[in-house]
Amino acid sequence: MSVPAMSLHGMMADPFAWDEDLLRRYDIHGQHYASFPTPASFQEKVGEVDYQRALANSNDSGRPLSLYVHLPFCRKACYYCTRNRVVTKATRLTEPYLSRLDREMVLVRSHLDTRREVSQLHWGGGTPTFFSLDQMSDLIDRLDARFGLSSSRERDYAIDIDPREADVFTLRHLQALGFNRLSLGVQDLDPKVQRAINRVQPRILTEALLDEADRLGFRSLNLDLIYGLPFQTRDSFATTLEQVIAMAPARLTLLYYGPMSQQLAPQQRIRREDLPGPEETLAILRTSMTLLTDAGYVHIGMGRFARPNNSLVMAQRRGTLSCDYQAIPVTSGVIW
């Protein structure tokens, strides 16, 4: 699935006209858009009755269901992470979590028209592949029993993968469970950056999984990258992008690292002086967008890129593209 690598440094005209003064004026940290509403927007006054009313309104729409399942366990803490997760090697903790998750399914199911099958499913985390293969099978069975999973070829069933926590047997099992989309966390391929964020992940792990997923026929493969991490420069991140482009994933997600060390203890392990400054961070973003568009990727928006024949690009052209509550682009909006 790989394509020949090419030298991309300093050979392209910048196609993006940005107002530098405007960017400097609004260069402040705020809530990240990747969850909407943002965590700060949740209030005690929104209670059970409001939730039930929202579910009833969803039934009135008659649209298929879309489910997100949060599986929060990780073996190691990545210092940049802002997700709600439990860092542990004790796999026994997963069983009570799955039991409570099933209880929540039962409660929600009682308010839903389950004739609306689940056309979109996303497992995120944490590290969903922290769970054993048997546990993943059990969770799929519970989801099917409570809501009714789709067997349509048009379904979108995606899962976040940590290449350090998966192998070819994992991918085969996920395919058997009905997953047809994979998102692999890469962040950066520079070993110095990886050590600084406590995520040492040799490139061969990512390449091996991408090759196997492509051979198995997964519909779409996404790689997550993060810019603004310690020790990154426009040149070092361009080197990472050259290697990623050679892997030829169908989709790429380019996320910004926004320090929140006062609220998140792991981020305190990242030294402020090791982070790229505002000018360099902006240069990394500009260079990245240029490299990706020159390599044939279409900028969907909000840091998402896809190949021209990908379903996201086609939906964008048709005017049917929307975002789910995590600001992840989807080809149709069916969130309950």
CA nearest to 111, candidates 46, 51, 45:
51
pTM exceeds cut of 0.95 = no
Per-residue pLDDT averaged across 249-267, rounded? 80
Identify whether 26 is part of a domain: no
Per-residue pLDDT averaged across 189-213, rounded? 96
How sure is the predictor about 45, in pLDDT bands with cuts at 50, 70 and 90? confident
DSSP type of residue 280: H
Distance CA 14, CA 16 (A): 6
Identify whether 114 is part of a domain: yes
Identify whether 25 is part of a domain: no
Contact yes or no for 257/228 (Cβ under 8 A) = yes
Give the tens place of pLDDT for each residue, 155-187.
999 999 999 999 999 999 999 999 999 999 999
Q: Where are the beta strands (DSSP E) in the chain?
A: 65-71, 73-74, 86-87, 118-125, 156-161, 181-187, 220-227, 251-256, 298-301, 304-306, 322-323, 329-330
Contact yes or no for 55/312 (Cβ under 8 A) = no
Give the tens place of pLDDT for each residue, 99-122.
999 999 999 999 999 889 999 999
Residue 174 lies in domain: 63-330
pLDDT of residue 311: 86
Identify whether 318 is part of a domain: yes
Q: Given the DSSP bridges, would you call strands 220-227 and 251-256 parallel, antiparallel or unpaired? A: parallel
Identify whether 203 is part of a domain: yes
The enclosing domain of 308 has a CATH number of: 3.80.30.20
Residue 193 has pLDDT above 70, yes or no: yes
Per-residue pLDDT averaged across 258-270, rounded? 71
pLDDT of residue 286: 92
| Weakest mean pLDDT among 12-26, 48-62, 175-189 | 12-26
Identify whether 7 is part of a domain: no
Identify whether 147 is part of a domain: yes
Identify whether 31 is part of a domain: no
Number of domains in the chain: 1
CB atoms under 10 Å from CB of 199, counted, come to: 22
CB atoms under 10 Å from CB of 195, counted, come to: 12
Per-residue pLDDT averaged across 256-281, rounded? 81
pLDDT of residue 267: 77
Name the residue with higher pLDDT: 154 or 207. 207
